[in-house]
Structures are given as C-alpha cells and as structure tokens.
C-alpha cells in the first residue's frame, strides 16, 4: 500500500466525539487510473503527477532556489560593506560602550544547526501528517513553501547584514584595539575609531561587524512560523469548532522553539535584542508570504488546508466544498472535517459569500476550448446550480444566479 493518494470514499465522521473511521488509501507512489465517475472527477486534481510533469512545473523554482542560494552564500562570505566608527574609551579610560565589550563565547546553537532544525523539523512533521492527509500535492506544496520561506529570508537578511550590519556584543573583545596607538581618533573629542585600529583575527572582526539582523532567528522563524501555519490548517485549531487543548500546545510548540533559538543568542552574547527582533520579523513575514503562495488561505479555516496548483486557479465561494479531492487534506476528523458534508459554509472573514463553491476551476486547453471556452456545472445538496465559464484565455467566470427558497438554509442567490 502506498502513502499519499486519496481514499476511495470519504470518512463518515462523528461530529461530537468520534475522530472518524480510518480507511486505507492507495499510495502516493502508484499512479491512479482515472475514470469518468463522480468520485474520480472529485479527486482528479489531488493525484500524483508523473515525474516529468512535476519537474516541468517545478524546474524554474529549483533553478531560482539554486541561484538565490548562491547569491546569498556569496554575500555571506563577502567582507562587510560599511566602514563603521566606534568608540573605545573616554579620555579618563572608562569604556564608552560596555554593551560591546562582552567576551567571545561559543554559540549555544551554531548557525548551521539553527538552519537545519528550521528545515528538517517541519519536513518531518509534514511527512508524519501524511499518515492521514496522504496527498502528494500537500507534502509537495508544504516542502516547497518552506524552502521559499527559508531561502528568501536568508538572502534578505544577509544583504542587510552586508550593507548595514552592526556591532556584536563581543565586538571589542574580537577587535582587540591597540591601546598603544598614538594617533588621535576622529569625531567629537577624537574618541571615535574605525577597524584600522583592530589587531584581532580578520574573519572574526568581519563577523562581529555584521550583527543585525540575527541569521539564527531569521531561519528559525522562517521555518517554524511556516510550520505553525501548516499545523493550524491541518489541525483546524482556529476554525468552526472547539478543539482539544493538545492542538493549541502542538500549534505553539514551533513558535516556542523559534523563540528559544533566538533567545539563546542573548545568553552567549552573539546578538543584541534588536538583532533578534529584526530577524524574527523578517522570518515571520517570509513564512506568511510563502504559505499564502502555496495554500489557498492563511487564516480562513475553510480553505487554508487546500494546496494551490499551478495549472488551475482555486475558486472561492459559498456552499459546501467540492475541493476536488482536497476536502480531507487535514489531520483532524472532528466536527466533520475530512468529509464533504463537514465542509463549512460561507460567512467566515475574507472571502466572498456568493459564487461557486471552493473548487479548482478547469483549465481550458486545446483548440476547441480556446475557440468556444469551457463550462461545467454542479448541482449541490440545496438544489442550486453553480456554473463556471472560462474563455480559454482570460479565465473569466460567470455565475448563473436565481433565488432558492424553501430550504432550511433560507434564501440564497447562486
């Protein structure tokens, strides 16, 4: 039996106490045979592509990641661009900035370990979640989105380090200024100097001039905040039902890990508090941005577990979800999640309250589709008709609307 492919039938979940019966699924590494049944059409988008299809869709991303990684490494290895001035002592011998006079200590968590933890821990959890989710596109989008976040954040912060930087708390200990210097400094009362007065190791001095932002913290927050968003979507912590407390603990465990990695840098005096804050902001922004690129929403619990595809847009709207095979791409089975019937209705923030149900719009292909467009419709449980019209070029959609009354849901325009 394989791993990531879909169930043959949705789970009938108990919305009060049950977690839903577990059914065996075909595997991610085996190709499915598609037929024309409704079940096959519902699951068509959530099927594993061939390696050729996957590499064709992902090749440009792989090249982009390699190029950005090379650029980031080159900037990281370069000497710092600015020539910073700093004071050592006043004329009476008192140290001007004791905040930069801490001793050089070994890092509690080296930068390579922080980056490795920020990448491997989320990937392991993505794979563990596939015990229930079992979707190739889910683990693909989660992993690629994580790499988006980590690589972009890393390049962003190394450019700031290189062009702006700042003094680390152990700068003076690394600089080892020559106290026997007879030449006067510059600035007010000639107490300011540049690195020409330093006698320490050149590589250590370069590193101690590039304190802001913290690379450890940037990597930790880029990876672990992305994992936080993923767990929120899969566990439906902030959703339409009352979850168990363990889900809240699991949700914030990655954020705690990121805070501990960043906070440790104040113990070993490798960073100032504002370096850590800047790294946390950069990493968090990149994590949110990357997650939204690969999933249908960040916070809207109706859609934030749906992986986005490259070749078909996701259409948001009201009604029970179709989701084309992604309806059970969640870990939780409470409150009907993981079933078609458990999908939520419109009314949550951010998205339209009218329109077609959440679904992957069919991409128009071929000469016939280009000339005449394509249309598909579905009749949902309320007797409403959803129509999607694509013109083959602009991907414009129109919706047939008519009032539906007499149902327990009241009147709706669809």
The DSSP-derived string for 145-186 is HHHHHHHHHHHHHHHHHHHT-B--TTHHHHH-B-TT--S--B
Q: Is residue 335 part of a domain?
A: no
- Alpha carbon 275 to chain centroid, angstroms: 22
Return d(Cα 133, Cα 141) in angstroms, integer.
13
Burial class (CB in 10 A: 0-12, 13-18, 19+), 69: middle
Q: Are 12 and 339 in contact (CB under 8 A)?
A: yes
Cross-strand pairs, 210 = 166
Return d(Cα 284, Cα 288) in angstroms, integer.
6
Interstrand relation of 192-193 and 314-315 (parallel, antiparallel or unpaired): unpaired
DSSP structure class, residue 303: T
- Which pLDDT does position 180 carry in this prediction? 62
Helix ranges restricted to H, 164-244 = 171-175, 202-208, 215-235
Burial class (CB in 10 A: 0-12, 13-18, 19+), 329: buried
Q: Is residue 327 part of a domain?
A: no
Cross-strand pairs, 192 = 87, 186
- Which pLDDT does position 317 carry in this prediction? 66
Return d(Cα 305, Cα 309) in angstroms, integer.
13
Q: Are 360 and 324 in contact (CB under 8 A)?
A: yes
For the entire predicted model, the pTM comes to 0.75
Structure tokens at 393: 């070029």
Return d(Cα 114, Cα 257) in angstroms, integer.
10
Quote the number of domains for the chain. 1
Return d(Cα 310, Cα 363) in angstroms, integer.
10
**Whether the bond into 213 is cis, omega within 30 of 0:** yes
- Which pLDDT does position 410 carry in this prediction? 40
CA atoms within 13 A of residue 199's CA, in its CB half-sphere: 6
Q: Is residue 200 part of a domain?
A: yes
Q: Is residue 313 part of a domain?
A: no
- List phi, psi (to 5°) of 199: -120, 5
Q: Is residue 180 part of a domain?
A: yes
Please identify which residue in the block is written with the tokens 């950005």: 68
- Residue 71 lies in domain: 54-294
Structure tokens at 280: 């946390």
Q: Is residue 355 part of a domain?
A: no
- Which pLDDT does position 90 carry in this prediction? 74
- List phi, psi (to 5°) of 134: 50, 55
Q: Write down how long the chain is.
A: 414
Return d(Cα 222, Cα 258) in angstroms, integer.
9
Q: Tell me the three state secondary structure of residue 229.
A: helix
- List phi, psi (to 5°) of 183: -70, 150
Return d(Cα 1, Cα 30) in angstroms, integer.
9
Return d(Cα 179, Cα 65) in angstroms, integer.
47
- Which pLDDT does position 181 carry in this prediction? 56
Return d(Cα 36, Cα 259) in angstroms, integer.
51
Q: Is residue 18 part of a domain?
A: no
pLDDT averages per 10-residue partition of the chain, 414 residues = 48 36 46 45 69 87 93 89 78 79 88 92 94 89 96 94 90 82 66 82 89 93 97 91 93 96 91 94 97 91 87 69 68 72 56 54 46 38 41 43 43 35
The residue among 379, 319, 366, 371 whose CA lies nearest residue 346 is 319
- List phi, psi (to 5°) of 235: -90, -10
Return d(Cα 292, Cα 69) in angstroms, integer.
22
Q: Is residue 162 part of a domain?
A: yes
Q: Each residue of 211-248: b (16+ CB within 10 Å) or e?
A: bbbbbbbbbbbbbbbbbbbbbbbbbbbebeeebeeebe
């Amino acid at each position: 039996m394989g791993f990531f492919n879909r169930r043959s039938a949705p789970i009938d979940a108990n919305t009060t106490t049950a977690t839903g019966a577990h059914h065996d699924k075909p595997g991610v590494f085996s190709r499915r045979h598609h037929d024309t049944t409704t079940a096959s059409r519902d699951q068509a988008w959530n099927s594993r592509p061939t390696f050729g299809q996957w590499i064709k869709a992902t090749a440009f991303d792989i090249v982009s990641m390699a190029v950005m990684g090379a650029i980031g490494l080159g900037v990281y290895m370069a000497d710092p661009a600015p020539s910073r001035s700093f004071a050592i002592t006043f004329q009476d011998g008192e140290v001007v900035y004791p905040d930069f006079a801490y001793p050089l200590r070994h890092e509690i968590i080296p930068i390579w370990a922080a980056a490795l933890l920020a990448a491997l821990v989320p990937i392991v959890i993505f794979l563990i979640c596939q015990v229930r989710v079992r979707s190739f596109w889910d683990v693909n989008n989660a992993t690629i989105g994580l790499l988006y976040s980590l690589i972009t954040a890393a390049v962003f912060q190394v450019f700031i380090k290189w062009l702006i930087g700042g003094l680390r708390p152990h700068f003076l200990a690394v600089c080892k200024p020559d106290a026997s210097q007879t030449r006067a400094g510059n600035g007010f009362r000639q107490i300011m100097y540049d690195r020409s007065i330093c006698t320490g190791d050149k590589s250590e001095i370069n590193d101690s001039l590039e304190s802001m932002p913290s690379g450890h913290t940037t990597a930790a927050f880029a990876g672990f905040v992305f994992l936080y968003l993923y767990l929120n979507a899969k566990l439906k912590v902030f959703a339409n039902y009352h979850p168990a407390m363990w889900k809240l603990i699991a949700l914030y465990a990655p954020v705690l890990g990121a805070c501990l990695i960043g906070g440790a840098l104040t113990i070993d005096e490798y960073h100032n508090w504002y370096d850590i804050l800047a790294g946390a902001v950069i990493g968090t922004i990149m994590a949110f941005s990357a997650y939204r690129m690969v999933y249908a929403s960040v916070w809207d619990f109706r859609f934030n577990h749906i992986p986005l595809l490259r070749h078909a847009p996701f259409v948001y709207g009201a009604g029970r979800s179709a989701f084309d095979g992604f309806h059970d791409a969640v870990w939780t089975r409470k409150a009907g999640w993981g079933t078609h019937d458990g999908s939520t209705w419109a009314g949550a923030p951010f998205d339209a309250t009218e329109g077609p149900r959440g679904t992957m719009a069919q991409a128009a292909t071929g000469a016939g589709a280009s000339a005449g467009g394509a249309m598909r419709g579905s009749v949902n449980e309320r007797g409403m008709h959803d129509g999607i019209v694509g013109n083959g070029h602009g991907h414009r959609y129109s919706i047939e609307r008519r009032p539906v009354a007499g149902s327990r849901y009241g009147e709706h325009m669809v």
